[in-house]
Structure 1
Amino acid sequence: MKNKKKILIRIGSMRHGGAEKVLVTFLKNLPEDKYEIDLLLNLYSGKYLPEIPSWVNVLYLNRGEMITTNRPQDIPKKAFRVIYQGLLKRFPSLLYKFILKNKKYDIEFAAIHGFRDEILDSPLRSSKKIIWIHNDLRKTEFHNYTDDEICRFFGFDKILVISEYIQKDFENLAKTNKERQKIVRIYNPLDTRDILCKSLQPVDIETVGLPIFLSVGTVFPQKGFDRLLKVHKRLLDEGCFHRILIAGDGYDFENLKKLRSELGIENTVELLGFTDNPYPYFKAADFYVLSSRYEGYPTVLFEAVTLQKNIIATEVSGVREMLLEGELGLIVENSEEGIYQGMKKALASPQLFEAYQSRLKNYEMPFNLDNSVKSIMNIIDEL
């Protein structure tokens, strides 16, 4: 195909996070003859690297795994990465000259909110600029954005948001119709057929006749796994016996293992680490628990809905929208006490979840993979 649009996409790495999974799903479902895509990573690492289509050109600033410790032997490499990336961010013309070889892009695309400045400060003034917002910016891992900071996102030509909650936040800050028209809600691409197929694979889970609660996600404080373990201990002490499975890895993994040991719950909590196919665990579990402190639009809940799991979810951004105001699952207060009350209800009165199951069996997703990908393609094509 002649005159392919040239697109630069930026993201930190291809680690096992929700935004990274969504991006690779999007890329895998693009027609390979339509666009010329360069994917620029700050760090060439992550579990999703092998899934990037071969026709996507992958560039990077550094190689190797993410350094999450401050061991003396790691400090020089960590310092070099920070200084090098900081230099290229401060002087973007160096990046575009030496890494990107002065290539002229039609579209520059920040795949997560953290690359706002890198794209807006691009020396390519003629390129159209898109950003994909996956989180509630009021509550992010390292920084809570103010109104003024969020308004800077209106420098983009299109702002893709993944939930009604985030959309309304941006719309409330928009000063003109032109700014309002930049905001587009896009459901995350989710391959339900692939989820259902992968869930059928066998998995070795010890079954001892106890209810199993599953939670899946990158092991960051955001996900609230520490709250989940404390609630688990409290329920065990009350004689409400059950098991916990947590699938995921991240910089807080060792702290979570330490907490499990301190609470004396090693025999009833299994930390599975990262798995590229968590869906058999969904299938084996009795309940799915979202214990997050905040989210943007927790895609994992759609995976739980696809597999018709009994759901308990803290009230964070996107949950009411996804669970139809509590029609498809139990929404609890966003606190340790809320998680405790929800899990206790599940253990004491599991029959209360039969109504959710009935609705889940008849529920049709409000989107499909093809529509989500086509929506983003339309935005790219029209810019």
Structure 2
Amino acid sequence: MKKVNIVFFIYQMGAGGAARTLLNIINNLDRNKFSPILVTLNYDGSYEHALKDDVTLIKLDTKRLSRSIFKIAKIIRDRKVDIVFSTIPRVNTIAILAKLASFTKAKNVIREADNLGGTFKENLQLLGFGLIYRLANQIISLSEGVKDNLVKRYKVPRKSIEVIYNPVDVDNITNLANQEEDFDHQSFFDTEDKMIITAGRLVPQKDHHTMIRAFAKVNEHCPSQLVMLGEGYLYEELKKLSNELNIVERVHFLGFQQNPYVYFRHADLFVLSSKHEGFSHVIAEALATKTAVVSTNCRSGPSEVLDNGEYGLLSPVGDEEQLAENMLSVLQATPEKMNEITEKGYERATFFRSNKIVRQYEQIFLDVL
């Protein structure tokens, strides 16, 4: 049987959830059936080192998406590519145009990863993306909520969308969570205080302002430390807020960590305070490290990952009072109750196990052909 040549196209293999998802799909594809080729713009990505040795990595000699169309088209022709897989709206648009410019029979499979839109300008832009999306051979959304958004705001026919949850490499996460040599900030965790952790870019979408205010309330009743993994332009603003709330000594900005899972494992609680998510990969990863989770009930991932609160408490977006109450509820649980919470959470994480989810992707690829 001839192997299916698949180009995976992404802006860069950076530190976000889209890159982690592609990494999990690429590394777990059945090599007897598929031959993966990863194409990125000319950037160094945080996850490139984690690619399996047999993955062909091509970096285009440009950092501009608009200049990549004909370069990708040439790769599609020269390497006799069968499927072009992409994720994120602008990248999806370029991938579709590149396939058309290749004048080949290659198929486009595109993935939508977030609940975008809201303002008039954003919604108008999404309608434009939707027109291009209709040219794809298959659209994948990573949650039911994202699918609803594609139908509502992109005006994409519901029948052309398949939902596949993000793959979580539970076994690899377990292995990494136990690599103590990657635990560079152990001193922060050498305390009797409760340890709360979060991970994500320091940008408005993640609403760390609400998290920090909630943490200040939690700390009044339960001495705690907040560890924040991630980088972003809101660092100074968030640092200033911590200072104003007199908790600056208890909030630790540790930047991007190559192995966040060892940090998750040493924490008592993982918190997500986002305004919107597609799936919230990081919640499932936290569950895989046997760490309790509290999240906002934002559109649309957290409620699906946590099964409407069955595997972690949910609070309204921007509600610092309820977020703090939920955090305290977990932190003040008995050891027996905490063990029950974390074991149950781990069981939920296995629902998204990579080999299971990647088989679903493989079936989509074969069906498209």
- Code of the residue aligned with 1:56 in structure 2: it is V
How many aligned positions are there? 354
Q: Does 1:271 align with 2:271?
A: no
1:304 to 286, 299, 303: 286
- Report if aligned partners of 1:11, 1:115 keep a CA contact under 8 Å in 2: yes
Matched, 1:181 2:159: yes
TM-score (norm 1): 0.80
Residue 259 of structure 1 deviates from its aligned partner by 4.3
- What amino acid is the match of 2:82? D
Aligned to 2:358: 373
Which secondary structure does the structure 2 equivalent of 1:37 belong to? strand
Counterpart check, 1:222 vs 2:205: yes
Match 2:127 to one of 143, 148, 154: 148
Partner Cα separation in structure 2 for residue 115 and residue 27 of structure 1: 18
Aligned to 1:342: 326
Segments of 5+ residues of structure 1 without an aligned counterpart are 64-80
Which deviates further from its counterpart, 148-157 or 361-370? 361-370
Structure-1 residue corresponding to 2:175: 197
SS in structure 2 of the partner of residue 303 of structure 1:
helix
Q: 1-side partners of 2:193 and 2:302: how far apart?
A: 27
**Worse overlay, 12-21 or 272-281:** 272-281
Quote the RMSD (CA, aligned, Å): 3.1
Report percent identity of matched pairs.
Answer: 27
Using the TM superposition, give the Cα deviation of residue 40 of structure 1 relative to its aligned residue in structure 2, in angstroms: 1.7
What displacement does 1:271 show? 1.5
1:227–1:272 CA distance, 2 compared to 1 (3 A): same
Q: TM-score, normalised by structure 2?
A: 0.83
| Structure-1 separation of matches of 2:337 and 2:316 | 18
Q: Deviations over 1:269-307 (max 9, x none)?
A: 112222222222222111111111110000111122223
Q: Distance in 2 between matches of 1:21 and 1:362?
A: 21
Displacement of 1:220: 2.5
In 2, distance between residues paired with 1:235 and 1:102? 58
Deviation, structure 1 residue 380: 1.2
- Does the CA contact (< 8 Å) of 2:123 and 2:153 recur in 1? no
**Partner residue in 2 for 1:213:** 196
* TM superposition shift of 1:244: 0.2
Which secondary structure does the structure 1 equivalent of 2:249 belong to?
Answer: coil
Q: 1:108-147: per-residue Cα shift (whole Å, max 9, x none)?
A: 111333312202212135321111111112369x955666
Letter in 2 for 1:105: V
2:357, 2:135 → 1: CA distance?
24
* C-alpha distance in 2 between matches for 1:253 and 1:15: 19
The question of whether the paired residues in 2 share the 8 Å contact of 1:228 and 1:336 is answered with no
**1:282 equivalent in alignment to 2:281:** no
Verify the 8 A CA contact 2:295 2:302 in the aligned structure 1.
Answer: yes
Q: Distance in 2 between matches of 1:335 and 1:282?
A: 23
- Is residue 98 of structure 2 the alignment partner of residue 138 of structure 1? no
Residue identity matched to 2:96: L
Higher share of residues assigned helix: 2
With over 3 angstroms needed to count, the CA separation of the structure-2 counterparts of 1:186 and 1:286, relative to structure 1, is: same
2:24 is paired with a residue of what secondary structure?
helix
Tell me whether 1:7 sits opposite 2:6 in the alignment: yes
